[in-house]
């Protein structure tokens, strides 16, 4: 999307109040596009001048249509629900947002004559816990019944709907709709609100006491700005002057550096002053634990909607090797992942009051020292005869 070429275009971003959607909106705004963010929640940050925010629920077609302002030439459909934690267990809402919401977006594009739609999908559409090394886009979708979670299943249904809509006629003879889907790995970057604060809270509460799985298992991540770059390139690649090369196509998008999940987070743990846990547990044990947690949530969740420590999908996503080739994205979109690390994430958390201070380390030592002393005294007392204890 070259701002020199098309400064009067308007782009609409569903889920534009979320972490990635907002970052994409800001990048497009800087390139000179008119940006409309559509979301049920407002962005956490101040909305820059020139960006319009429309509040609405993607489950309602009327809400979606009201977001189409001006000459919308591209929709980035980013909104989704149910990706992680307790959200993953709300099947009804997940379906309504991810599937019905996508139907609404497609319908609105067709009615409003929007020629391009980029869908933010996920690696999960092909992954259900099986080992994947250097997979590519020829991999079949995971059969729907094999998805351990409803989010992945509904993202898969939605991606298919989006890609099948490629080439369908727009109303009032305005040509055809061109669509493509990007399948990002786990997103990270400064200010990320979904995974990183949860990890940091586990670290701070002393719950990050072990890692699990094979240390040689490899997964992938994508820096938010690499993903922004990929979306902008994908939108361009749907244009006529790019031969509509991305039409009807899915693309895996990552930083292109497979890494062990826990090693990836080591700089964050140590950067915030904590010790990386030396204990490693078997994946199967953690999977059973996640299964039990989900069962307990299923039974008690209506009374108390607690945050499960881990879900089965999260165990797979973090502990089973799955990474994919970027070849297709490089060749067809011109995507080149830029190198990033977790330093700016560490700085972001430090700037927001996180990180273990030397004082807290000393007071923790005092607490542990005190606890040890107390246990020694109790142990010594158990050896004394009862009359002596009564005299004390
Ligand atoms: N975060 C990751 O690691 C990751 C990995 C792979 C794919 N993805 C995909 O990337 C996209 C962006 O992820 P993110 O991390 O920015 O998530 P996010 O949760 O920050 O953003 C999603 C947005 O969708 C909005 N939304 C939910 N229900 C809505 C509704 N009924 N109506 C309107 N808006 C609604 C939310 O309010 C939120 O702002 C999603 O489509 C997600 O499936 C994310």
pLDDT score of 389: 40
**Which positions ≥6 away from 259 have C-beta within 8 Å?**
218, 219, 220, 221
pLDDT score of 28: 98
3-state secondary structure 162-184: HHHCCCCECHHHCCECEEEEEEE
Q: Is the CB of 57 under 6 A from ligand 1?
A: yes
Task: Indicate the Cα dihedral angle 334, 335, 339, 340, nearest 10°.
Answer: 150
* Coil, helix or strand at residue 102: helix
- Known catalytic residue at 287: no
Query: How far apart (Å, rounded) are the C-alpha atoms in residues 290 and 6?
Result: 49
Q: Which two tokens stand for residue 37?
A: 């963010």
Task: Indicate the Cα dihedral angle 269, 275, 279, 281, nearest 10°.
Answer: -20
Q: What is the mean pLDDT of residues 55-60?
A: 98
Is the per-residue pLDDT at 365 higher than 60?
no
Task: Indicate the Cα dihedral angle 288, 294, 296, 301, nearest 10°.
Answer: 170
ipTM surpassing 0.90? yes
Pocket test for ligand 1, best of 42, 43, 57, 83 (most atoms within 8 A of CB): 83
pTM equals: 0.90
pLDDT score of 87: 86
% of the chain surpassing 70 pLDDT:
89
Query: How far apart (Å, rounded) are the C-alpha atoms in residues 345 and 199?
Result: 12
Q: What is the mean pLDDT of residues 290-311?
A: 82
pLDDT averaged over the chain? Answer: 90
User: Phi and psi for 118 in degrees, rounded to 5?
Assistant: -110, 125
pLDDT score of 359: 60
pLDDT score of 378: 44
Q: Is the CB of 186 under 6 A from ligand 1?
A: yes
Q: Is the CB of 151 under 6 A from ligand 1?
A: no
Q: Which two tokens stand for residue 310?
A: 């881990």
Domain boundaries, the chain: 10-187+221-255+325-340
CATH superfamily entry for domain 10-187+221-255+325-340: NAD(P)-binding Rossmann-like Domain (3.40.50.720)
Is the per-residue pLDDT at 375 higher than 90?
no
* Coil, helix or strand at residue 35: strand
| Identified catalytic residue from 19, 119, 151, 316 | 151
pLDDT classification of 4: cutoffs 50, 70, 90: very low
The number of C-alpha atoms within 13 Å of 234 and in the hemisphere containing its C-beta is 33
pLDDT score of 357: 73
Q: pLDDT tens digits, residue range 313-353?
A: 889 999 999 999 999 999 999 999 999 999 999 999 999 99
| Smallest CA separation from ligand 1 atom 39, residue | 18
pLDDT score of 7: 61
pLDDT score of 305: 75
Q: Is the CB of 16 under 6 A from ligand 1?
A: no
Q: pLDDT tens digits, residue range 100-138?
A: 999 999 999 999 999 999 999 999 999 999 999 999 999
Q: Given its phi and psi angles, is residue 244 left (phi above 0), alpha (psi -120 to 50 degrees) or beta? A: left
Is the per-residue pLDDT at 157 higher than 90?
yes
Q: What is the mean pLDDT of residues 167-172?
A: 94
Is the per-residue pLDDT at 196 higher than 90?
yes
pLDDT classification of 296: cutoffs 50, 70, 90: confident
The alpha helices in 242-282, defined as continuous H runs, are 261-271
Least Cα distance to 119 among 168, 36, 175, 177 occurs for 177
**Which positions ≥6 away from 54 have C-beta within 8 Å?**
36, 37, 38, 66, 67, 69
Output DSSP code: residue 144: G
pLDDT classification of 84: cutoffs 50, 70, 90: confident
Q: What is the mean pLDDT of residues 258-277?
A: 97
């Amino acid at each position: 999307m070259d701002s020199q070429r098309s400064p009067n275009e308007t782009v609409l971003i569903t889920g534009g109040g979320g972490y990635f959607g907002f970052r994409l909106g800001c990048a497009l705004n800087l390139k000179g596009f008119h940006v409309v963010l559509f979301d049920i929640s407002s962005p956490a940050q101040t909305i820059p001048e020139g960006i319009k925010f429309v509040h609405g629920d993607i489950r309602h077609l009327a809400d979606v249509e009201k977001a189409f302002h001006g000459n919308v030439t591209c929709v980035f459909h980013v909104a989704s629900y149910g990706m992680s934690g307790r959200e993953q267990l709300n099947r009804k809402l997940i379906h309504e947002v991810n599937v019905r919401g996508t139907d609404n977006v497609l319908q609105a594009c067709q009615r409003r004559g929007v020629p391009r739609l980029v869908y933010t999908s996920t690696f999960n559409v092909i992954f259900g816990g099986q080992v994947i090394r250097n997979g590519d886009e020829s991999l079949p979708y995971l059969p729907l019944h094999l998805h351990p979670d409803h989010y992945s299943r509904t993202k898969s249904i939605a991606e298919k709907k989006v890609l099948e809509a490629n080439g369908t006629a727009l109303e009032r003879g305005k040509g055809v709709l061109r669509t493509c889907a990007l399948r990002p790995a786990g997103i990270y970057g400064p200010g990320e609100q979904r995974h990183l604060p949860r990890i940091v809270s586990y670290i701070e509460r002393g719950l990050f006491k072990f890692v699990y799985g094979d240390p040689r298992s490899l997964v992938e991540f994508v820096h938010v700005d690499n993903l922004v770059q990929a979306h902008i390139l994908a939108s361009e690649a749907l244009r006529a002057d790019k031969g509509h090369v991305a039409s009807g196509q899915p693309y895996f998008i990552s930083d292109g550096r497979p890494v062990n999940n826990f090693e990836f987070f080591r700089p964050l743990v140590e950067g915030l002053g904590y010790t990386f846990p030396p204990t490693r547990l078997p994946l199967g044990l953690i999977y059973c634990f996640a299964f039990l947690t989900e069962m307990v949530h299923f039974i008690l969740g209506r009374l108390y909607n607690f945050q499960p420590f881990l879900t089965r999908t999260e165990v797979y996503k973090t502990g089973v090797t799955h990474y994919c080739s970027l070849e297709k994205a490089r060749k067809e979109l011109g995507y080149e992942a830029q190198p990033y690390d977790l330093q700016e994430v560490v700085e972001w958390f430090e700037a927001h009051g996180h990180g273990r201070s030397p004082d807290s380390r000393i007071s923790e030592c005092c607490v542990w020292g005190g606890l040890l002393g107390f246990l020694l005294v109790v142990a010594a007392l158990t050896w004394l005869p009862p009359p002596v204890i009564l005299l004390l």
